[in-house]
A and B are shown apart, each in its own frame.
Chain A
């Protein structure tokens, strides 16, 4: 960012406030101490801060004990997890174990309930211990975040997870039975009835084999609609369905809202049907082959009608999962295409549900379609059929506007003032542009701000809901290059916080100001969503002692104070143990090698933050028991020996004493 070209600083209210504060405090401090060195002005002078630097510091600093106004749920990329980050402080609050084991939370280290959730993501008998998490989706009520649930997909293995925001724990993983890989998930419909999981690379449906020569006939794209049941907090697989699509590579999707509610929009690339290049020199590499045409297809899906067809007899079953065949979708009018600039990435629905914003990453424009015009084109049958027989609506008849924003536009989010924000990958910028009526006067670019570097997604406060908040934007940058100390050649990604609270004319960067860089050193996050913190009301401790997070209810079999015991039945040993600062009851357990051990644990502490751990060395067991929580560990005591188990969470002054002996006597 070129600081010399910034608009006069006195025109920026935030800068004015910052400068006034600093000036006032400097005066007071100078008057009090008579020395300049340790004062604000001294620090500013010593470190050579500009006015913008001081503003950024004042806007992002939170004194100890103060909480952020917003919370980001960011995909953890390769970590297979979800990161929870406060805004504007950009402090990492938690990494939620989702698709991959997470030791601190005891996620997948012997706690039977967590092992079972992870095992739901197995592919056949194979444990999958990484995931490429892409797009988190907060649950919505009437198109607005409600703070109850968050969903996320694993692109690498076509899986979707459900996280309960009462305790920020993963409750369910579903493996897509139709597809081996996905991308366009997760997004939710305005009342979270459906969780959308769009496909990506076309494959034969049902993870089958077919030679590449059969690509056009056998390979298929797909989009899956997972039915979510709020009461049980689970995806209902038997009420979910997928739609067979032509073997284009479907990309991101978004759910319609308000006027477009009931419809879903996904874009696609490789409508060229490229199949790559062989060692014999045949075919173009995908890079060229899949981006040869000027247009790809925006998929316009009538979900409301598809949900009716899904429970009719016009479906097929693939791996026991309901699939609407492509021909049925065409015959029933469930699927239409609209030409879109080539190799698009983002498809984002404007807050009122009226506009669909597409960014073709090889086209410098954002293309804005009108849902009303799409409906009219469908009614007028203003289409031609493509080679699979899907109606392709007329481009000009559906187009509302195109705005030239810059090179490599990817994704768009919105604010409360009628501005839209589009990430520009190639330009390494965020473009701020005005939407036309009913949002602002006309479609036009207002300005851009440089980011560092190679931005993918971006997120504004509640920026994909029916009522965006504005205020903050976070650029999710793929590269950080020189922004941080380089910890070896694998560099962190960079989340950059940008103030978007001012009008576009307040500086030469479209009224935006860069405030803060947050290194992300644990995988490549793709998308994130930002929710007002006061919409979240997580448990401080579990509501009752003996609480089972898997069922979100008290487990009647949970160990409670006074009923701790060990029962033996043949070589089955069952243990009921309680944990409280700072002891296990009982704290000496004796079994014989080969015994099958079922070990129930309850943390009977009820104080805020009084978490206990339970770890057995050599057995790969570590359980985290938050106040009130109960869990069960089940294993065969294969190795004889003496295993001191201990609390792996520093719980109290006598934490080291919170230990016990697990004695496994050799069997004769």
Chain B
């Protein structure tokens, strides 16, 4: 058995497919569904920051997509310089520039995973499973940087602080509330679907693999 065969795993006999095809189709459909969810998430906000202050009765909002910021960014940029906070422009530049390619890459890996019937499929799917967690870790890292890399020449001095990636915080007269966006929620759902698909995948192919190794 060649290395390629080992990686690709066993093909499903026609008779087996006819009798219990659902066993094999469900994990493939879950992977396909997860791939679609990830693509859709590109169009949706991943992270939403609501800010309230007395002079902004309607509040301010920053909406983070994987590759850009929307909402009251200009207004907040104007306020950031008072308290020595950095510019949003300078935050997570690398991540924002590669995010779309990265997610398309994750989707491509998932689609490639449709062909793999061995455990090696995990190599292709684990990045997508971990993706939302990696997003949050990266976000928290940048939030830490944001709250610690304060400009000492700013007119108004803040103590260093670390805003949480979800939940409430206070910055000067602002009460903030950070929430996951629908894009991130989709990425988490996709992550869960892929993990579940992997369980079903293993359950479906294990007998075939064992049969194959017995033959081998």
Contact = CB atoms under 8 A, between A and B. Distances in A.
A327 interface: no
A606 B155 CA distance: 21
B199 to A, nearest CB: 51
* Dominant secondary structure at the A interface: loop
Interface stretch (B35-43, B74-82, B136-144, B158-166): B74-82
A580 B82 CA distance: 12
18 contacts: A580-B78, A581-B78, A581-B79, A605-B78, A606-B74, A606-B75, A607-B56, A607-B75, A607-B78, A608-B56, A608-B58, A609-B55, A653-B82, A653-B155, A653-B156, A654-B82, A654-B155, A657-B155
A609 B74 CA distance: 15
Nearest to B75: A607
Contacts of A607: 56, 75, 78
A605 B56 CA distance: 14
A608 B57 CA distance: 10
Contacts of B78: 580-581, 605, 607
Contacts of A606: 74-75
Interface string B97-123: 000000000000000000000000000
Best-buried of A581, A606, A607, A657 by chain B (most CB within 10 Å):
A607
Interface string A573-597: 0000000110000000000000000
Nearest to A581: B78
Interface in A588-644: 605-609
A657 B82 CA distance: 12
A581 B74 CA distance: 12
The 9 closest A-B CB pairs, nearest first, are: A607-B75, A654-B155, A580-B78, A581-B78, A606-B74, A606-B75, A605-B78, A654-B82, A653-B82
Nearest to A657: B155
Given A581-B78, A608-B58, A657-B155, 15 more contacts: A580-B78, A581-B79, A605-B78, A606-B74, A606-B75, A607-B56, A607-B75, A607-B78, A608-B56, A609-B55, A653-B82, A653-B155, A653-B156, A654-B82, A654-B155
B120 to A, nearest CB: 52
Interface string A24-55: 00000000000000000000000000000000
Contacts of B82: 653-654
Contacts of B74: 606
B189 to A, nearest CB: 36
Contacts of A657: 155
Interface in B142-171: 155-156
Contacts of B156: 653
A580 B78 CA distance: 8
Interface in B54-101: 55-56, 58, 74-75, 78-79, 82
Contacts of A609: 55
A561 B55 CA distance: 24
A276 to B, nearest CB: 60
Interface string A635-668: 0000000000000000001100100000000000
Nearest to B155: A654
A654 B155 CA distance: 8
Contacts of A654: 82, 155
A629 to B, nearest CB: 16
A581 B75 CA distance: 10
Nearest to B57: A65
Contacts of A580: 78
A251 B209 CA distance: 103
Best-buried of B55, B78, B155, B156 by chain A (most CB within 10 Å):
B78
Nearest to B172: A653
Interface in A554-580: 580
B192 to A, nearest CB: 40
A69 B146 CA distance: 45
A654 B156 CA distance: 10
A653 B56 CA distance: 15
A608 B55 CA distance: 9
Nearest to A545: B74
A48 B109 CA distance: 82
A217 to B, nearest CB: 66
A51 to B, nearest CB: 36
Nearest to B173: A653
A581 B80 CA distance: 11
Contacts of B56: 607-608
B82 to A, nearest CB: 7
A608 B53 CA distance: 13
A608 B75 CA distance: 10
A608 B79 CA distance: 14
A144 B82 CA distance: 49
A587 to B, nearest CB: 14
A399 to B, nearest CB: 57
Contacts of B75: 606-607
A581 B78 CA distance: 7
B183 to A, nearest CB: 26
A477 to B, nearest CB: 36
Contacts of A608: 56, 58
Best-buried of A608, A609, A657 by chain B (most CB within 10 Å):
A608
A657 B56 CA distance: 22
Contacts of A653: 82, 155-156
Contacts of B58: 608
Nearest to A65: B57
A608 B156 CA distance: 23
B129 to A, nearest CB: 41
A498 to B, nearest CB: 33
B118 to A, nearest CB: 56
A593 B74 CA distance: 38
B64 to A, nearest CB: 20
B10 to A, nearest CB: 62
A605 B55 CA distance: 14
A650 to B, nearest CB: 12
A591 to B, nearest CB: 29
A143 B55 CA distance: 40
A580 B80 CA distance: 13
Nearest to B79: A581
Best-buried of B56, B75, B156 by chain A (most CB within 10 Å):
B75
Nearest to A654: B155
